[in-house]
Chains A and B, each alone.
Chain A
Amino acid sequence: MKLNEKYLKYFLTAFASFIPFLLALYFIAIGKDSLLAFQKFGISFFLGSTWNPPREIFQVFPEIMGTLVSSAIALLISLPVSIGLAIFLSEFCPRRFSDFLGSIVELLAAVPSVVYGFWGLAVFVPYFLYPVENFLKENLSFIPLLSSNDGITGYNMLSSGVVLAIMIMPIMSSVCRESFLYVPSSLREAAYALGATKSEVIRKAVIGYAKQGIAASVFLGFGRALGETMAVTMIIGNALQFSYSLLMPSQTLASLIANQYAEAIGEIAISSVIAAGFTLLVISFIINFAARIILRRMRLRGSELI
């Protein structure tokens, strides 16, 4: 190996090993600062529902639930829409038009989240979601998930889930579209030659082959939804309480941090906000780790030889 190539290799190795180091640093720094809160509240930090700065009680169960539920709503809405859009773009519309529409969808992914938040706050929630939610409340309030004791504002868990769905749809659908376009046309032909109809070709040959790509888009979308802060903070209503109803204002870990950090006074309050961040980090890690295991399980034995 030439000398300068050797240096290049050392240089790149140093860069690459910086990444795990950085990750360890995150954990240590955030973990250290949140230690105080964990020591004081123990397991009740995760399981209790009170966040009361004057009395110095800090517990994040509603926020953990809020994070998971709002992301789950987003995923539930976004996944079928994304798959449908990706199928349309890859299987039904001509390639040039598909590339054009695909790049527009990808542009949507580049819109800053504060823009989505503001659009949700000023337009989408008051004029579109609020009437729908009011209708749900009037007619379906016997369902605990849609119950409400008094009037609703539209700024709540359901609304932020819907806005999150719109925010993660571009990345999910473009990952799905890429993985559908990656399906070899020989497999589509193989299915057609067996007498499959177009919908069977799509279901078995295309989606069947690309299901790992779909799974990857789910985890990517879920990951983004979990950590999304700005738009959620603007729409979720920021209530420090736990509620079964999706129509009640709520809070996520990310929005809690955004709302509380500036106002946190005193060691224990600051440590608790940081501990909320640590919790979010751990949740993201668990989801990511589970994703890897699931993706590996999905692979059929022997197919790694492709």
Chain B
Amino acid sequence: MMLVKEEQDKKKGELSYLNGEIIRVEGLNAWYGKNHVLKDINISINSNCVTAIIGPSGCGKSTFIRCLNRLHELVPDARVEGKVLLDGVNIYDEGIDPTEIRRRIGMVFQKPNPFPNMSVKDNVLAGLKFSGMKDRKKLDEVLRSCLEKAFLWDEVKDKLDLSGASLSGGQQQRLCIARALAVEPEVLLMDEPCSALDPTATAKIEELIISLKREYTVVVVTHNMQQASRVADYTAFMYLGKIIEYDKTTKLFENPREELTERYITGKFG
């Protein structure tokens, strides 16, 4: 176990040293039926960073990250064009298995959605069971390490057999994060992960997001600008399906290039 972990740390360490791009989006367009929701998105996301996507409701933030793990296409009538390169390979290429992509790019949703019919333990291990893992010892190790990474182990270690729905809202969201981490993704997408939570639970999740970037790349959608400035290294501002501005968080909030961005972050619209 130690050895594996060390190797992983080393691998992640190298990545973090390189801190190069892990996802590159080229000319991405997306539709719901005839509704053109993403218009020519081009962006490059750095590994082992937290990238925040901000913008008013309905600007396409969620749709954008749902295109990154091919979840968008599950909605009836949804359509995507363009390229999303993960480590240089287009995830929309023919012959690419979307389930494989979704394992490499995990996702946490707006409303905590643990499986209520599964125990806390089974929730964390659900993804591994999908991929057919049976090794009891390995599963137990993953269970503990993922719950620890999600700052949840101490709170639930005596409740592992209770339903996932029995936890508090904040705990449920951290359980969902642990569940996403269990399949060892490279990227973690978070779609407004705190919008259903109270301030204390939000603070915990934010702390968690910052700690996660040591090992993972995090892309977080939020409509809370303070949150973006607290957790993100890079921030993209989206408006009406386009990325208006994308820069280091400090730069974007203190000295935005675009007038639209400035008006949004100073609360003149949104």
Contact = CB atoms under 8 A, between A and B. Distances in A.
A196 B99 contact: yes
Given A186-B111, A187-B113, A187-B115, A194 B163 contact: no
Contacts of B109: 186, 189-190, 193
A200 interface: yes
Given A194-B130, A195-B130, A195-B183, A211 B117 contact: yes
B74 interface: yes
B13 interface: no
Given A189-B71, A194-B183, A208 B115 contact: yes
Interface residues of B, number: 34
A302 B183 contact: no
Contacts of B115: 187, 190-191, 204-205, 208-209
Interface string A252-268: 00000000000000000
Contacts, number: 92
A187 B179 CA distance: 13
Contacts of B114: 190
B107 interface: yes
A303 B163 contact: yes
B76 A94 contact: yes
A190 B116 CA distance: 12
A306 B163 CA distance: 10
Interface in B195-218: none
Interface string A130-161: 00000000000000000000000000000000
Interface in B61-86: 69, 71, 74, 76
Nearest to A303: B163
6 contacts: A196-B99, A204-B129, A300-B119, A301-B162, A301-B166, A302-B166
Interface of A: 94, 184, 186-187, 189-197, 200, 204-205, 208-209, 211, 300-303, 305-306
Given A195-B103, A195-B131, A300-B119, 7 more contacts: A190-B109, A193-B71, A193-B107, A195-B99, A205-B115, A302-B163, A302-B165
